[in-house]
Amino acid sequence: MKTLIVLSAVALGVWSSARAQQENIPSKQLIQNIADSLFYGAKGYEKTKAFAGAEVGVCWHDSIYYFSYGYADKGNQVKTDTSTIFEIGSNTKIFTGLLLAHEMNTDAINAETKIDEYLPVNKEIANKVRILDLATFTSGLPNLHDSAAMAELNQVDSVQPLAHVDNNYLLSLLGKTTVLNRYGQYEYSNYSYSLLGYLLSKLSCKSYDNLLNNRVLKPLHLKNTTTTLDTDDSRLARGYDGSDLAPYMQLTGMAPAGILKSNVTDMMQFVQYQLGKSSTISEDINLSQEKFYTNDSLGLSVGLGWHIANRYNDDVYIMRGDTYGFSSLMAFDRNEKIGIVILGNTVNPEEMERSFSRIFRKIKESAPEYKRKIEQPTVKLNDDVLNRYVGTYDIAPDFEVNVSVDSGEMYLQCTNQPKGLIEPINETTFIAKKYGAEFEFVKGNAVAYNQVILRQNGQVIKGIRKP
């Protein structure tokens, strides 16, 4: 259950992205081509050894596709299939968020209520933290995954440190906390969701397992999703850290933050409910998708567990989970009816996000309206116009783009990337057709163009021209 990085590739990879799929390719073949590239392409799992095994599910409008890769158990050469059970780690938080949504919809809880009403809080932070703050990662409370917290727990048990975080530990830490670190600002936290699960259980006088089963898993018919670790279940994959076997995650007090195991068919069914499939808890699902916190500088909003970013002018909901030997991801675009689930039995959060981006980008860029934008005719501009934009633009620390003109053509070079030609489609907007990238130059005042807006892979990033 490591820190979540949400769709945050500042370096756009302008010259390394593949071109959109050819127009009119059948949907089924497009998805098959994406999966083949993901598994067996030049940078696929087969070559990089990113995952011992993986299950991928993609739904696009009314069609669902499943793809299997590698081994659930390398030692015994057991291959993965759609029934293979994986730990899904922090994706559990989405389910805990649904439990909160139910309490809010039934007026059993007012999410604006301070947690002091239900939990023993240190007087130094009394009457400050709301229940909603726990669900949106803005409480300022300890996160239980930073180096300081883990150092203490590793001294107790270096193999299963988180197994020793029980409810007493959660309450003890709450009683010791005297300062809220950046209260009201986003900081991913396992502790806040552990505490939220405890609070919901206490309020209902039911165990977390009982709440989860009766209020989420049964209503959504998720028969293969469980909090229980059954090592005798032949469907259970082995987890790996690199090439080494990793232990299964054992949690008690932290169960609401990362205990669940599931398979790709259950998780795809769950995503379909997120996309609008009717259920008895549809109101809870809809509430969990509302934006309860937004940080414009991060380009991020947060629902009840869901992280939400704008890509290709649509809201994309995403959550990722990592345990000692597994990585997983769920995401969906409700407007375009796209859902993606990736389950892997090797801990590899970076590859999990790259995999999602590859699938999502290629689906979105296959749309005719996207192609028309990138493939529209270019125009010829004289050097006087082109030279307005020459200079270096700061995008982020250690990342900038340099714009130059040579023989009547404009070139752009990103940090640590080769120079590439960009062509004008009007006086201020340029495209790199081969890479599906767009660059718009904007006046920062009445005279000079001192900003560039980069659009690629659904991301929108602004750069400021250096003096």
- pLDDT, one tens digit for every residue, the chain (467 residues): 544 434 333 344 455 443 333 344 457 889 999 999 999 999 999 999 999 999 999 999 889 999 999 999 999 999 999 999 999 999 999 999 999 999 999 999 999 999 999 999 999 999 999 999 999 999 999 998 766 777 888 888 888 999 999 999 999 999 999 999 999 999 999 999 999 999 999 999 999 999 999 999 999 999 999 999 999 999 999 999 999 999 999 999 999 999 999 999 999 999 999 999 999 999 999 999 999 999 987 889 999 999 999 887 789 999 999 999 999 999 999 998 999 999 999 999 999 999 999 999 889 877 665 665 666 788 999 999 999 999 999 887 788 899 999 989 999 998 888 889 999 999 999 988 777 788 889 886 656 788 898 877 666 788 889 98
Q: Quote the pLDDT of residue 18.
A: 38
Structural domains in the chain? Answer: 27-369 (3.40.710.10), 383-465 (2.40.128)
From residue 57, alpha-carbon distances to 18, 218, 266, 347 in Å are 22, 22, 10, 19
pTM: 0.79
**Dist. CA 396–CA 464, nearest whole Å:** 10
For residue 74, the Cα-to-chain-centroid distance in whole angstroms is 27
Q: Quote the pLDDT of residue 236.
A: 98
**C-beta of residue 1 within 8 angstroms of C-beta of residue 22:** no
Q: Quote the pLDDT of residue 437.
A: 83
> Which residues are CB-contacts of 167 (< 8 A; sequence separation ≥ 6)?
198, 252, 253
Q: Quote the pLDDT of residue 298.
A: 83
Cross-strand bridge partners of residue 439: 430, 454
For residue 115, the Cα-to-chain-centroid distance in whole angstroms is 27
Q: Quote the pLDDT of residue 210.
A: 97
Q: Quote the pLDDT of residue 368.
A: 61
DSSP 236: B
| Residue among 257, 248, 214, 211 at smallest CA distance from 228 | 248
**Dist. CA 114–CA 130, nearest whole Å:** 4
Q: Quote the pLDDT of residue 46.
A: 96
Q: Quote the pLDDT of residue 7.
A: 38
